[in-house]
Structure 1
Amino acid sequence: MNSCALSPTDKKAYAKDVGQILVHKHGKQKFYTPRQVKQASSQSRYTVDWHCWAMCLYSSPADFNDYHAATGENCDYAAMKAEMATALTDGASESWFDFDLSWLEWPDFDLPSIFDIFD
């Protein structure tokens, strides 16, 4: 499997794993640093090469873009976040999703039921 390719099922499970680690280690925050996300990704049950998928959910757009500019990786924040949001909401996010929102600001969703990170 390509290191940046994830199925919708894997995206949802990966987001949950990384989210649980982030909240457990750093508390509930609007955004996490790329370093925090990479560390959480490496501690998840998924390969660390997928950290950019978590970073588009849990890091700010500016931090995501700065990180990828510095590493020379060509990752599209908006496209990746849209894919993750679609996977997490089983396609319900396509008409309302605002890419500038943090994961804590998503409307009309019970985040604990999506991520189960507050249990």
Structure 2
Amino acid sequence: MVFLRNSEKKTIQSYIKKLPSLLEKDYGKAKYYTPMEIRSTIVSNNLCVEDLRFAIAIFSNQKNFESYHQEIGENCDYESMRKEIGDTFFNGNSQFSVLDFSYVSFDFGGDFDGGAGFSGGDFDGGAGFSGGGDGGY
């Protein structure tokens, strides 16, 4: 198992906080988005592009994730990334989808304060969130 670095955790927090509403605004509500939709939304909203693989692991399905990474020649393991993200943010649930964000956990000490399953920090809620929390490949 590869552990997420703090910088990756903060980027993933940002993706979880911002991308659901941005993707829905750009493409409508969906369980999954294509890697190019995710990339386009990240770029157009000036979010961190360096950890795009995590956003794609979160918001896309396995088939699209693997096709995208094969096309760009990057070796990423969808299942291990989802497991690590699930363990860190979704109470161990690696089968999460954008529709499951009420189960997000930022207990590793992030800067969030809002959303069901959260416990402390500066998170302000965001689309699909209600409540309070903390917020290598």
Provide the TM-score with structure 1 as the length reference: 0.71
Superposed, 1:18-97 pairs within 5 Å as 18-89=19-90, 93-94=91-92, 97=93
Counterpart in the other structure of 1:113: 115
Tell me by how many angstroms 1:40 deviates: 1.3
Quote the Cα distance in structure 1 between the aligned partners of 2:85 and 2:126. Answer: 16
Give deviations 1:13-46, integer Å, cap 9, x for gaps.
Answer: 2222222210111121011111101111213443
Tell me by how many angstroms 1:9 deviates: 3.1
With over 3 angstroms needed to count, the CA separation of the structure-2 counterparts of 1:117 and 1:98, relative to structure 1, is same
Structure of greater relative contact order (alpha carbons < 8 Å, 6+ residues apart): 1
Higher normalized helix content (fraction of residues) = 1
Query: Which of the two has higher C-alpha Rg?
Result: 2
Quote the Cα distance in structure 2 between the aligned partners of 1:66 and 1:75. Answer: 11
Task: For 2:21, give the aligned amino acid.
Answer: Q
Unmatched tracts of structure 1, length 5 or more: none
Task: For 1:109, give the aligned amino acid.
Answer: Y
Unmatched tracts of structure 2, length 5 or more: 105-113, 117-124, 130-137
Count of aligned pairs: 108
Q: Is the 8 A contact 1:11 1:87 kept in 2?
A: no
Quote the Cα distance in structure 2 between the aligned partners of 1:107 and 1:118. Answer: 7
- For the aligned residue pairs, the C-alpha RMSD in angstroms reads 2.9
Provide the TM-score with structure 2 as the length reference: 0.63
Give deviations 1:72-110, integer Å, cap 9, x for gaps.
Answer: 101111122223233434xxx22xx243x5332x39738
Quote the Cα distance in structure 2 between the aligned partners of 1:71 and 1:7. Answer: 21
With over 3 angstroms needed to count, the CA separation of the structure-2 counterparts of 1:102 and 1:69, relative to structure 1, is same
Identity of aligned residues (%): 23
